[in-house]
């Protein structure tokens, strides 16, 4: 053990309802595996928490023994913040309860729940809140970084729908935070990540969505991408808020609606979700079909929960992943040039570059209203490097960085914190812009010793 007596560990085991895992225990190796296979860290202890009482015990144990502390929700973070070396991992993945109050349109969600867990319960009542685009993502990490997805143009960021949260602080207090209670802490956790404490329960506002939505994919050959992106850019202003259209450039996966000769060839894919009346779906997305001459398309009504899982096969755990991201206010001509050049040099069949369209409701919230400050973002662009063999690390990372650098002159200069890799700590101030100093002040108040530092860290100044 690292600086911890076996007596202290035994005391922890008797003090918690959950499971304490040590290196050598049968399930320890499985418990330290996370979504991004590039992250290989070796904790001293993994505490699988069963409730808020266990979280308080785990925080106190790490604090009192001077150990690094990492918080695992879904284990999906690209930078691997769910794990630390030689410290304590608070594993919240067993705390998966999702309680829906359909009359009040509220969801009460524990921090181990995934997007699928949330959607499964909420869609039973035809309700939803804006979440991400991969159903295995954890609700907690997604939310604390801001959160956006197919519903964000209509209903805002995930944090814009957060009503309250229970937070365990570095001192072990359990605080209920909201607009009326511990307002500074509530403000900070809406975008400031896990820097201020451990959330043990989220309360979200829900909206009528589904259970059926209209959407799917339109796939064009790369030769048509420039013209298609110009039309996509021009169409943005007139698009209804019930519609979200993302653009993805990559090699075509072997989708059943694509002819075999297209598989493995470079394409631009427009992925869309329309949450207005189903009967209006075909007319709402018709303009996307006019972006070019598709080599294949798959459009129609589908359950919202199915659409939320549509990209899961491309995002399975166990691959090596490296991201670089920019926020964009527009898609400029020079960016399109750099983009097409990068797609010509894709280093692996799984790499892609996407434009996640937000805007509309996400832009109507004042910059100072939440810690997340990038309210001028119209597209969150992510360079998603993904491959399987460690021997390809250097080549794939170099490709991602090269396009990131080429795209920088056309970007806003800010970044979505959930898309930042582990070595990007120098961009933390860029992620928060004008809100950064206020975040430092909240950090000084609630975590002056920086116990919560396994994250994109906002360092205290005291």
Q: Please give the pLDDT value at position 462.
A: 85
Task: Tell me: do 70 and 118 sit in the same domain.
Answer: no
Query: Does residue 453 sit within a domain?
Result: no
Task: Tell me: do 189 and 270 sit in the same domain.
Answer: no
Instruction: Report whether pLDDT(2) > 80.
Output: no
Task: Tell me: do 171 and 230 sit in the same domain.
Answer: no
Alpha-carbon distance of 239 to 118, in angstroms, equals 28
Query: Does residue 80 sit within a domain?
Result: yes
The CB density around residue 330, as the number of other CB atoms within 10 Å, is 12
Contact 59, 198 (CB under 8 A): yes
Helix axes 333-343, 393-407, angle to 10 degrees: 170
Task: Tell me: do 201 and 249 sit in the same domain.
Answer: no
Which residue, 113, 16, 29, is CA-closest to 74? 113
Q: CA neighbours within 13 Å on the CB side: how many for 64?
A: 12
Looking at 91, 114, 145, which one is the last position of a domain? 91
Instruction: Report whether pLDDT(187) > 70.
Output: yes
Looking at 91, 109, 136, which one is the last position of a domain? 91
Cβ burial of 139 (10 Å; 0-12, 13-18, 19+) is buried
- Residues of the domain holding 40: 6-91
Task: Tell me: do 242 and 367 sit in the same domain.
Answer: yes
Task: Tell me: do 205 and 339 sit in the same domain.
Answer: no
Mean pLDDT of all residues in 125-129: 98
Query: Does residue 438 sit within a domain?
Result: no
Task: Tell me: do 316 and 233 sit in the same domain.
Answer: yes
The CATH number linked to 182 is 3.30.465.10
Bond prior to 197 in cis (omega within 30° of 0): no
Mean pLDDT of all residues in 288-294: 98
Instruction: Report whether pLDDT(451) > 80.
Output: yes
The CATH number linked to 314 is 3.40.462.20
Q: Please give the pLDDT value at position 355.
A: 98
Distance from the first to the final alpha carbon of the chain: 31
Task: Tell me: do 49 and 122 sit in the same domain.
Answer: no
Task: Tell me: do 198 and 307 sit in the same domain.
Answer: no
* pLDDT digits 0-9 by tens, 230-269: 999 999 999 999 999 999 999 999 999 999 999 999 999 9
Q: Match 């320890």 to its residue by tokens.
A: 28
Average pLDDT value over all residues in the chain:
97
Query: Does residue 82 sit within a domain?
Result: yes
Task: Tell me: do 144 and 230 sit in the same domain.
Answer: no
Instruction: Report whether pLDDT(1) > 70.
Output: no
CA angle, residues 158, 18, 134, in degrees to nearest 5: 30
Mode of pairing for the β-strands spanning 266-274 and 19-21: unpaired
Helix/strand/coil (H/E/C) assignment for every residue in 214-266 = EEEEEEEEHHHHHHHHHHHHHHHHHCCCCEEEEEEEEECCCCCCCCHHHCCCE
Which residue, 353, 348, 365, is CA-closest to 328? 353
Task: Tell me: do 139 and 249 sit in the same domain.
Answer: no
Query: Does residue 143 sit within a domain?
Result: yes
Report how many domains make up the chain.
3
Confidence of residue 322 (pLDDT cuts 50, 70, 90): very high
Say whether pTM exceeds 0.85. Answer: yes
Q: Please give the pLDDT value at position 4.
A: 85
Contact 213, 302 (CB under 8 A): yes
Task: Tell me: do 395 and 347 sit in the same domain.
Answer: yes
Looking at 68, 91, 114, which one is the last position of a domain? 91
* pLDDT digits 0-9 by tens, 79-111: 999 999 999 999 999 999 999 999 999 999 999
């Amino acid at each position: 053990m690292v600086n911890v007596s076996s007596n202290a560990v035994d005391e922890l085991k008797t003090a918690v309802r959950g499971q304490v895992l040590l290196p050598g225990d049968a399930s320890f190796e499985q418990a330290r595996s996370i979504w991004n296979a590039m992250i290989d860290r070796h904790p001293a202890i993994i505490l699988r928490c069963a409730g808020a009482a266990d979280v308080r015990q785990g925080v106190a144990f790490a604090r009192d023994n001077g150990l690094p502390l990492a918080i695992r929700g879904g284990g999906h973070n690209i930078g691997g913040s769910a794990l630390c070396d030689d410290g304590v991992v608070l594993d919240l993945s067993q705390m998966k309860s999702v309680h829906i109050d359909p009359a009040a349109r509220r969801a009460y969600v524990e921090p181990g729940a995934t997007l699928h867990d949330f959607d499964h319960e909420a869609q039973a009542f035809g309700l939803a809140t804006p979440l991400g685009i991969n159903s295995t993502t954890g609700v907690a990490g997604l939310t604390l970084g801001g959160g956006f997805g197919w519903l964000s143009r209509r209903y805002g960021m995930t944090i814009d729908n957060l009503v309250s949260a229970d937070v365990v602080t570095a001192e072990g207090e359990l605080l209920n935070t909201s607009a009326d209670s511990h307002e500074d802490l509530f403000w900070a956790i809406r975008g400031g990540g896990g820097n201020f404490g451990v959330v043990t329960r989220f309360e979200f506002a829900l909206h009528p969505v589904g259970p059926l939505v209209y959407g799917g994919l339109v796939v064009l050959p790369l030769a048509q991408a420039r013209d298609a992106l110009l039309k996509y850019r021009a169409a943005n202003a007139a698009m209804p808020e019930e519609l979200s259209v993302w653009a993805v450039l990559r090699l075509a996966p072997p989708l059943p609606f694509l002819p075999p000769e297209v598989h493995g060839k470079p394409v631009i894919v427009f992925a869309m979700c329309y949450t207005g009346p189903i009967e209006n779906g075909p007319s709402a997305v018709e303009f996307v079909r006019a972006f070019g001459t598709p080599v294949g398309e798959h459009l129609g009504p589908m359950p919202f929960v199915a659409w939320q899982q549509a990209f899961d096969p491309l995002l399975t755990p166990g691959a090596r992943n490296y991201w670089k991201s920019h926020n964009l206010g527009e898609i400029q001509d020079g960016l399109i040039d750099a983009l097409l050049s990068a797609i010509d040099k894709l280093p692996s069949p799984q790499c892609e570059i996407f434009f996640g369209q937000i805007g509309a409701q996400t832009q109507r919230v004042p910059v100072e209203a939440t810690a997340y400050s990038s309210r001028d973002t119209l597209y969150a662009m992510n360079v998603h490097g993904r491959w399987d063999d460690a021997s390809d690390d250097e080549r794939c990372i170099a490709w991602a960085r090269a396009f990131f650098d080429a795209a920088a002159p056309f970007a806003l200069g800010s970044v979505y914190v959930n898309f930042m890799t582990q070595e990007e700590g120098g961009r933390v101030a860029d992620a928060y812009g004008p809100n950064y100093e206020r975040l430092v002040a909240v950090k000084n108040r609630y975590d002056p010793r920086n116990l919560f530092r396994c994250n994109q860290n906002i360092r205290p100044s005291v």
